Structure 1
Amino acid sequence: MRNEGLGGWPVRRALMTPGRTAFVFGGSAFTYAEFAGRTARLASRLQAAGVEPGSRVAYLGPNHLALVETMFATHRLGGVFVPLNFRLTAPEIAYQLGDSGPAVLVYGPECAATVGGIGEHPAQVVALAGPAPGEAEYEPWLAGGEDTPIDVPVRLDDVALILYTSGTTGRPKGAMLTHGNIVWNTCNVLVGVDLTADDRALISAPLFHVAALNQTLLPTFAKGGCSVIAPGWNVDTCYDLIEKHRVTWMFGVTTMFADFAGSPRWPGADLSSVRMVMSGGAAVPEVLIRTYQERGLVFCQGYGMTETAPGATFLEAAESLRKTGSAGVPAFFTSVRVVRPDLTDVAPGEPGEVLVRGPNVSPGYWRNPEATAASRTDDEWFRSGDMGVIDDEGHLYVVDRVKDMFISGGENVYPAEVENAIFEHPAVAEVAVVGVPDEKWGEVGKAYVVCRPGTRLTRDGLREFLRSRLAKYKIPVHLEVRDALPRTGSGKVRKDRLRATTQRSNSSPHG
């Protein structure tokens, strides 16, 4: 096979384990042989639609088997897959389509209004449900494809994915990941997680996000395991799927795991099949990690970002108790440093910016050489923009984003540390802290909190709670209680929006 990239994976897996279940979706199970046949037919249809090596194919919609099929079929043709955040508005999607220039757009019925509002675009449109004028219904369209082998030469350094960053500042950038980036990331996961062919992964985080796709689904596929795909995150659905399919591991972000542990089903649910849960993308409060550990579940963390495909560090299961709160050590095939502003290495315990280098690191941003150059040091280390510390055993602790740190009375304040302390309050379900201007101190903290049902929180009550936990200058001066926090599609809090709406006055007793 001349395809060295992901496009060859369905064929290779089908040869090795044709009868094993590759995916469960919508109440149906699909073997590796069946999945290989479906992707072959889809590849022939995409080829007939004009997809060739280098062409982009976009996908817009919630988690669906068709997303995975579209990705593998695109890669079989040497194309570039562009998964889009279905929560974005039509103008936001229009920008990403205009930037990436796909030949084909596949979308789910939930996104019909968004697609209708995009306006003119060159992509051929394929609907998962329909039909509607100018659209092809997905299943009949797929069934009309041919099973004839397509073996386009694809090298590991060819671009496989364009993943648009969250865009917390300015326009989102299209991070390019090569087939080699993804293969090496998969190797890093398999070294750190010890997956087996009997593992069953629950995919409930969005597959347009790099962690669900590259850190969970693809390593499971490479090992010949089974991925149980949920359309999206729903606590009860998650419990049901774990019990029905005996799920062994899952990935999630902080809010997902907080919701899961806060469910009334938590104490009595059968979670005996789950041997590990894994989180990344943002610091996880230690109290939440302890909640899972006390339930007998191994809670592992990793650290990374879209541009590192995403795994940069990983905390292995054996260290999850001793190093609670750590993001672990560098992944096996990846190097990580923490540096001062002059790019010299920090001492243990000294905060600095995290740099990453390795075969999993993106070659740059799509059609954006300026942003690519700005993200690299002169000796080609990727600048994460994250603050971290390394302990005396080489374990990384992510402190915060460089841009999120603020200075109060001459002291550095890292919001993630403050959020961790606030999260221990029994009334707090979600929290985000930002720095806001202050005439006396320059900046002070403002906490945005979502309370648990049936509870309330006051500014003075929160400050009193924190007095024994944080230095005085770290304790937020302001509190605002909200029904929800603004988030990106990958679950990260949109702190730029919080800063933009910050009021310069103290909150009322009710927030």
Structure 2
Amino acid sequence: MRNAGLGGWPARRAQMSPHRTAFVFADREVSYAEVHERTARLASRLREAGVGAGDRVAYLGPNHVAFAETMFATHLLGGVFVPLNFRLAAPEIAYMLGDSGAGVLVYAPECAGVVRDQPYLPGLRTVVALRSPGAEERDFESWLSEGDPAPVDVPVALDDIALILYTSGTTGRPKGAMLSHANLVWNCLNMMVGVDVTSTEVTLISAPLFHVAALNQTLLPTFLKGGTSVIMPSWNAGACYDLIEKHRVTWMFGVTAMFAEFARSPRWADADLSSLRTLMSGGAAIPVQLIRTYQERGLVFCQGYGLTETAPGATFLEAGESVRKVGSAGVPVFFADVRVVRPDLTPVAIGEPGEVHIQGPNVTPGYWGNPEATAAAFTGDGWFRSGDIATVDGEGHLTIVDRVKDMYISGGENVYPAEVESVLFEHPSVAEAAVVGVPDRTWGEVGRAFVVPRAGATVTPGGLGEFLRTRLAKYKIPVYYDIVDALPRTGSGKIRKPELRTRPLPDGSHQARGEG
């Protein structure tokens, strides 16, 4: 086989374990043999649609088996898969489709409104719906079934680009982080060193697959080992309990909001969770008390740290250290190096905060069509700048303590204040705006916007919230709004965001929370 990338995985797995179940979705089970046949058929249809080496295929929708099938079929042809965040607004989706130059879009029925609300871009040649909402779109299943099941074998190198994953940028424009097939393979190896993934693994995919963690930290390692991925369309604590008990789930990944809701469920005390071998978190530091809640239930809870640009694993706390080092992000993954440095790139002392840098075969080659951002992301000696601040203890364990940039994480989603501020500035009555993240019990963090109205103009929290709802994804919209006369500034004119973060929250009224 000339395909050294992920596109060859279905054929290799079908040869080794054809009858094992690769995916479970709703009441449907898909064997590795079926995945192989379906991806070959789909690849033939994509090739007829003009997809070849380096061409981009986008996917928009909640978790579904079709996500993985479309990805593997794209990789069979040497194409680049572009998973899109279905929570985004139509203008945000349009930008990513245009920036990536995607020629094919596969989308779920839940996203039909977003797709129809934007003009099809000139480069978008083919649009396929999982269930056809109209005559103009092709239906995914019928389209796939008419494809040729003959094996596809085109040369694909490990260094070829496999994914473009969009991350929100501090300038208000998202950047497309490129990940090669090699990045993904090395990340799987790192994951399987840190977690004892087995061929009998039953992995619950409950976080969004368009995120690097759900895809690369759970689905791909499980597929590589020949285990079973139980795919949830979206997070639901009750359904999660049902699936764990029904399928005897052994491994799952989640973020703070998911694990907090799961533990608050009335089913927590009595549910049969005995099959779970490993719980894994990422996206943001999990509160120590929440980790201990799981440990007291007899569950192994491991944390990791990483970024989209590192595919994503950079550090990991193995199960054996999960109690003694609770709250730590662990040590560098096996096949990567991590350093914590001062601004002059000298190593920090024990306990001294510094910026996390990563180097290794899991690190992105750069940003799609953005050489300036790529150059800025790396140091002169070739280390990737994470933009995150950490401390290191005497045993080399990292603890993430802050972010160099102003990004905050809400429900596992990265939110960049500059993007929200740029949209607020579009409001005709807004003169200035500053957004910071503040703690929230449910989502980890939520946004708080400080807004200065234009002279003679009036703005209300409810009006600002309504203005943003059609322009930004829901999780990016601030929860709190402060209408102020001026913003605090440094001597050089920069806004003092640390001062804004320390101000007491508004009184919690519906006006302060932008709900009316």
Partner of 2:2: 2
Give the whole-Å Cα distance in 1 for the aligned partners of 2:172 and 2:353: 27
Letter in 1 for 2:311: A
**Poorly superposed stretches of 4+, deviation over 3 Å:** 166-169, 445-452, 491-494, 496-511
Give the whole-Å Cα distance in 2 for the aligned partners of 1:360 and 1:60: 25
Deviation per residue, 1:66-119 (Å, 9 max, x gap):
000000000000000000000111100000000001111000000000000121
Distance 1:203 1:451, change over 3 A: closer
Give SS of 1:267's match.
coil
What is the Cα deviation at residue 400 of structure 1?
A: 1.4
Give SS of 1:312's match.
strand
Partner of 2:189: 187
What is the Cα deviation at residue 450 of structure 1?
A: 5.0
Give the whole-Å Cα distance in 1 for the aligned partners of 2:299 and 2:166: 33
Partner of 1:344: 346
Partner of 1:257: 259
What is the Cα deviation at residue 402 of structure 1?
A: 1.2
Q: Is the 8 A contact 2:130 2:139 kept in 1?
A: yes
Give the whole-Å Cα distance in 2 for the aligned partners of 1:210 and 1:154: 22
Partner of 1:54: 54
Q: 1:331-370 residue pairs with structure 2 within 5 A? A: 331-370=333-372
Deviation per residue, 1:165-217 (Å, 9 max, x gap):
13465111000000000000000001110100011000010000000000000
Normalising by structure 2, report the TM-score: 0.82
Deviates more, 1:56-65 or 1:111-120: 111-120
Distance 1:203 1:501, change over 3 A: farther
Normalising by structure 1, report the TM-score: 0.82
Distance 1:163 1:243, change over 3 A: same
Partner of 1:429: none
Partner of 2:75: 75
Partner of 2:87: 87
Give SS of 2:185's match.
helix
Give the whole-Å Cα distance in 2 for the aligned partners of 1:281 and 1:355: 17
Selected match of 1:275 from 274, 277, 293: 277
Distance 1:97 1:509, change over 3 A: closer
Partner of 1:176: 178
Partner of 1:98: 98
Q: 1:295-314 residue pairs with structure 2 within 5 A? A: 295-314=297-316
Question: Aligned pairs, how many?
Answer: 442
Distance 1:190 1:51, change over 3 A: same
Q: 1:145-184 residue pairs with structure 2 within 5 A? A: 145-167=147-169, 169-184=171-186
Distance 1:80 1:509, change over 3 A: closer
Letter in 2 for 1:137: D
Give the whole-Å Cα distance in 2 for the aligned partners of 1:15 and 1:501: 61
- Identity over the aligned pairs, expressed in percent? 67
Q: Is the 8 A contact 1:281 1:492 kept in 2?
A: no
Deviation per residue, 1:396-427 (Å, 9 max, x gap):
1011111249xxxxxxxxx99xx9xxxxxxxx
Give the whole-Å Cα distance in 2 for the aligned partners of 1:120 and 1:38: 27
Q: Is the 8 A contact 2:77 2:154 kept in 1?
A: yes
Give the whole-Å Cα distance in 2 for the aligned partners of 1:493 and 1:285: 20
What is the Cα deviation at residue 357 of structure 1?
A: 0.3
Letter in 2 for 1:14: A
Give the whole-Å Cα distance in 2 for the aligned partners of 1:190 and 1:510: 45
Partner of 2:431: none
Deviation per residue, 1:125-174 (Å, 9 max, x gap):
00000151321111111100011111110001000000001346511100
Partner of 1:107: 107
What is the Cα deviation at residue 451 of structure 1?
A: 7.4
Q: Is the 8 A contact 1:282 1:492 kept in 2?
A: no
What is the Cα deviation at residue 253 of structure 1?
A: 0.6
Letter in 2 for 1:306: T
Which ranges in structure 1 are unaligned for 5 or more consecutive residues? Answer: 406-414, 420-431, 435-442, 453-482
Distance 1:510 1:97, change over 3 A: closer
What is the Cα deviation at residue 394 of structure 1?
A: 0.3
What is the Cα deviation at residue 502 of structure 1?
A: 7.2
Letter in 1 for 2:146: G
Give the whole-Å Cα distance in 2 for the aligned partners of 1:501 and 1:37: 56
Give the whole-Å Cα distance in 2 for the aligned partners of 1:404 and 1:338: 19
Q: Is the 8 A contact 2:164 2:177 kept in 1?
A: yes
Selected match of 2:380 from 361, 378, 381: 378
Letter in 2 for 1:105: L
Give the whole-Å Cα distance in 2 for the aligned partners of 1:55 and 1:92: 21
Partner of 2:487: none
Q: Is the 8 A contact 1:160 1:177 kept in 2?
A: yes
Q: 1:22-61 residue pairs with structure 2 within 5 A? A: 22-61=22-61
Deviates more, 1:123-132 or 1:223-232: 123-132
Letter in 2 for 1:202: L
RMSD, aligned CA: 2.6
